[in-house]
Amino acid sequence: MREAGKRTRGRGTTARPGRPRQAEVARLAGVSQTTVSLVLGKKTGGAAISEETRQKVVGAAESLGYVPDPAARRLAAARNNLLGVFSFTATFPTDVQHSYYPFLVGVEQEAAAQGYDLVLFTGSSPGGTGGGTHALHRARLADGCLILGRHAPTAELCRLVAEGFPVVHLGRRDEPEGPAWVGADYVSASRGVVERLVALGHRRIVLVREDDEAPASTDREQGVREGLEEAGLPVGPEAVFRSADPARELTSDRVREWVADGVTAFVAEETDTSAAWRALNAALAEAGLNCPGDVSLALLGSPPPDAADGPTPAGFDIPRAQLGAAAVRLLAALVAGEQASEPLVACTFRPGDTLAPPRRTSPQPPDPLPGPRVPGRGRNRNTRTEQGEPTQ
> With binding defined as CB under 8 A, does residue 14 bind a copy of itself?
no
- Distance from C-alpha of 52 to C-alpha of 24, rounded to nearest angstrom: 19
Q: Contacting DNA (CB under 7 A), which of 11, 248, 360, 381? A: 11
Comparing CB distances to DNA, the nearer of 48 and 162 is 48
> With binding defined as CB under 7 A, does residue 308 bind DNA?
no
Comparing CB distances to a copy of itself, the nearer of 120 and 285 is 120
- Distance from C-alpha of 315 to C-alpha of 270, rounded to nearest angstrom: 10
> With binding defined as CB under 8 A, does residue 115 bind a copy of itself?
yes
> With binding defined as CB under 7 A, does residue 75 bind DNA?
yes
> With binding defined as CB under 7 A, does residue 73 bind DNA?
yes
Comparing CB distances to a copy of itself, the nearer of 3 and 213 is 3
Residues whose CB falls within 8 Å of the CB of residue 366, separated by 6 or more in sequence, listed in order: 198, 199
Q: Contacting a copy of itself (CB under 8 A), which of 21, 27, 54, 137? A: 137
Residue 92 binding: pick among DNA, a copy of itself, none (C-beta 5-8 Å cut-off by kind): a copy of itself
Comparing CB distances to DNA, the nearer of 38 and 255 is 38
3-state secondary structure of 130: coil
In angstroms, what is the minimal distance from the CB of 121 to DNA?
17
Q: Contacting DNA (CB under 7 A), which of 4, 78, 96, 162? A: 78
DSSP string covering 31-94: S-HHHHHHHHT---SS----HHHHHHHHHHHHHHT----HHHHHHHHT---EEEEEESS-SS-S
Residues whose CB falls within 8 Å of the CB of residue 144, separated by 6 or more in sequence, listed in order: 83, 84, 165, 166, 167, 168, 331, 332, 334, 335
Residue 62 binding: pick among a copy of itself, DNA, none (C-beta 5-8 Å cut-off by kind): a copy of itself
* Nearest CA among 327, 265, 267 for reference residue 296: 265
Q: Are 164 and 139 in contact (CB under 8 A)?
A: no
Residues 328-347 that bind a copy of itself (CB under 8 A): 337
DSSP string covering 242-275: EES-HHHHS-HHHHHHHHHTT--EEEEE--SS-H
> With binding defined as CB under 8 A, does residue 118 bind a copy of itself?
yes
Comparing CB distances to a copy of itself, the nearer of 9 and 377 is 9
| Per-position x/- string for 14-53, each x denoting binding to DNA as judged by CB under 7 A, each - no binding | ----x--xxx------xxxxxx-xx-xx-x-xxxxxx-xx
- The torsion angles phi and psi of 296, rounded to 5 degrees, stand at -95, 150
Q: Is the dihedral angle over the CA atoms 326, 330, 333, 338 positive or is it negative? A: positive
Beta bridge partners of 84: 119, 145
Residue 290 binding: pick among DNA, a copy of itself, none (C-beta 5-8 Å cut-off by kind): none
Q: What is the binding site for DNA (CB under 7 A)?
A: 1-2, 7, 9, 11, 18, 21-23, 30-35, 37-38, 40-41, 43, 45-50, 52-54, 66, 68-69, 72-73, 75-78
